[in-house]
Structure 1
Amino acid sequence: MDYIKDRGYVDVGVDDTFVPMDFQQKDGKLVGYDVDLANTVFKLYGIKISFQTIDWSMNTTELRNGTIDVIWNGFSKTPAREAKVNSSKTYLDIIALKKNHINSVKDMQNKTLGAQSGSSGYNDVMDYPKVLAARIKDHSPILYDSFSNTFIDLNAGQIDGLLIDSSYANYYISRQRHPERFTEIDSSFPKEQFGVGTRRSDVTLQQKIDRGLDILAKNGTLARINHKWFGDKAQSPLLRK
């Protein structure tokens, strides 16, 4: 933390295609829920942010190697990650087109499922094979570098469904011309929470982030950011112990 304060900025690793958490607008500007939240927290300490786009499948490696200082991008807690970094969890849903007649996990029998490479969704598919892997075609999802590409293939009929966190699903569907064409299905995976990933040795940095989030929760800033990105039904996707 002292090094970051002396340097004047913190390197934050993101997947810049992860709508609505961190994503690029047409003009190239990085925006999103986590962008607003991270900027607001570090502003409390007079620290600017340098957002770094990373290969999401290498997120913990980038953190441990010192390429970035923090992962702030809908980062989910998994046993493998927990052994390496501090983190927490998020909810997962299945999203599909209604015309595919997928209304439950059982309906994914012999269907193609898309997931992001390196995501907690993919890990859950493989860690809990009886939930989805045993049902879907080839017993493994089709992997994509970004969720943007999975939605393109879903709309084009190249995949039957995709595993995605509910925050992204709700944001995407609400902005479609015909949102009624889509359906969301509870995946039955263990419930998770979004968190901020830091190196296990960076105790002070983690404490500063936690304190910042507590301040934002108490003064109403967190609620305003939630409403901005998730509307009237907004509940913070970042839930901490």
Structure 2
Amino acid sequence: MMKKIALTSLTVGAGFLLVACSSSTASQKKNDTWKTAEKTKTITIGFDNTFVPMGFKAKDNTNQGFDIDLANAVFKEYDIKVKWQPINWSMKEAELKKGDIDLIWNGYTVTKAREKQVLFSKPYMAGQQELITKAEAKITKTADMKGKTVGVQSGSSGYSDFNAQPEVLKNVVSGKTITQYSNFDQGFLDLQNGRIDGLLVDQVYGDYYLKQNKLGSDYNTLLMNYTSEPTAVGARKTDKELITKINQGIDRLVKNGQFAKISQKWFGRDVYPGK
């Protein structure tokens, strides 16, 4: 009987040790992402692969966009290859916390709510929200949206702004509510078909989309008077060294002109703050 008890104790003890080691390894991975990336020469970045022009899947199935080029250039400085992982944008912080991705880098705007969940890099771009409406609707000011319907991408900074600053748009539209879509394409389709009257979106995305699809004469854009929110890279709170390396990498690209070159390619201007 004593032998059975001893064996059971040893088995249970070994089990606890195994779990502890496993948890320690998982914790270490989360706490030392930079060291892991240096060793494996890879890092995983989560992105919404429909977010033109920041990061998206092109017709040839390659990942393209401003943030794709920028992140690849930053990690090339460290001889690290980026693995791009498409994610559900509304679940981005959860994916990061679980360790399924190492960074959120895709037109990710800095908000107070997000600062509680992630560690941000220095801003590398300013962000504004705009409302896209059909030109025939002749909506030229926020008041023109009275009693009308509006849509937005779920989990976006536009959705946060809509609720956090109701005096700008929420208090004007029908029912003081907004329709959420999993991606911009779904929302724009509803706008085209008249199921909503306006679509709230990041300015860089909206302007690029309309220009690329030659829709400038069919739609109007109206800048929203929300507090300006800069764009940055998001990491786990413990990954201070990783964020430091990203900041240093972006600084080098700004100084050697690569940042401006990438920016000109996608926006026709240098979007670095202060430029």
Q: What's the % identity of the aligned pairs?
A: 40
Report what 1:54 is aligned to.
87
- 1:143 maps to a residue whose letter is Q
Once residues 130 and 199 of structure 1 are traced to their aligned partners in structure 2, the CA distance between those partners, rounded to angstroms, is 33
Residue of 198, 209, 222 corresponding to 1:161 = 198
Classify the secondary structure of the residue corresponding to 1:75. Answer: coil
Report what 1:235 is aligned to.
270
Report what 2:135 is aligned to.
98
Report what 2:153 is aligned to.
116
- 1:20 maps to a residue whose letter is P
Does 2:228 match 1:191?
A: yes
Report what 2:40 is aligned to.
7
Provide Cα deviations, 1:146-173, integer angstroms capped at 9, x if missing partner: 0111122212222111111111111011
1:92–1:165 Cα contact (<8 Å) kept: yes
Residue of 97, 119, 128 corresponding to 1:64 = 97
Once residues 12 and 239 of structure 1 are traced to their aligned partners in structure 2, the CA distance between those partners, rounded to angstroms, is 23
Which of 1 and 2 has greater Rg? 2
Note the C-alpha offset of 1:180: 1.6
> Are residues 44 and 53 of structure 1, via their aligned partners in 2, closer, same or farther at CA, if it must alter by over 3 Å?
same
Report what 1:222 is aligned to.
259
Once residues 185 and 270 of structure 2 are traced to their aligned partners in structure 1, the CA distance between those partners, rounded to angstroms, is 24
- 2:129 maps to a residue whose letter is L
Note the C-alpha offset of 1:59: 0.9
- 1:221 maps to a residue whose letter is Q
Residue of 57, 60, 65 corresponding to 1:32 = 65
1:104–1:186 Cα contact (<8 Å) kept: no
**Greater fraction of residues in helix:** 2
Once residues 152 and 103 of structure 1 are traced to their aligned partners in structure 2, the CA distance between those partners, rounded to angstroms, is 21
4+ residue runs over 3 A deviation = none
Question: 5 Å matches for 1:113-192?
Answer: 113-192=150-229
1:125–1:132 Cα contact (<8 Å) kept: yes
2:119–2:239 Cα contact (<8 Å) kept: no
Question: 5 Å matches for 1:16-31?
Answer: 16-31=49-64
Note the C-alpha offset of 1:178: 3.8
2:119–2:240 Cα contact (<8 Å) kept: no
Note the C-alpha offset of 1:239: 4.3
Provide Cα deviations, 1:6-32, integer angstroms capped at 9, x if missing partner: 122000000000010111112221111
Once residues 47 and 203 of structure 1 are traced to their aligned partners in structure 2, the CA distance between those partners, rounded to angstroms, is 18
The number of residue pairs the alignment matches comes to 237
Once residues 36 and 145 of structure 1 are traced to their aligned partners in structure 2, the CA distance between those partners, rounded to angstroms, is 24
> Are residues 10 and 239 of structure 1, via their aligned partners in 2, closer, same or farther at CA, if it must alter by over 3 Å?
farther
Classify the secondary structure of the residue corresponding to 1:99. Answer: helix
Provide Cα deviations, 1:51-97, integer angstroms capped at 9, x if missing partner: 11111111111111111100000001111110111235621111111
Once residues 28 and 140 of structure 1 are traced to their aligned partners in structure 2, the CA distance between those partners, rounded to angstroms, is 36
Once residues 138 and 6 of structure 1 are traced to their aligned partners in structure 2, the CA distance between those partners, rounded to angstroms, is 53
Once residues 149 and 69 of structure 1 are traced to their aligned partners in structure 2, the CA distance between those partners, rounded to angstroms, is 28
- 1:44 maps to a residue whose letter is E
Report the more deviating stretch, 182-191 or 81-90. 81-90
Once residues 230 and 183 of structure 1 are traced to their aligned partners in structure 2, the CA distance between those partners, rounded to angstroms, is 19
Residue of 79, 103, 106 corresponding to 2:112 = 79
**Greater fraction of residues in strand:** 1
Which blocks of at least 5 consecutive residues in structure 2 are unaligned?
Answer: 1-33
1:86–1:200 Cα contact (<8 Å) kept: yes
Once residues 212 and 163 of structure 1 are traced to their aligned partners in structure 2, the CA distance between those partners, rounded to angstroms, is 32
TM-score computed with the length of structure 1 as normaliser: 0.94
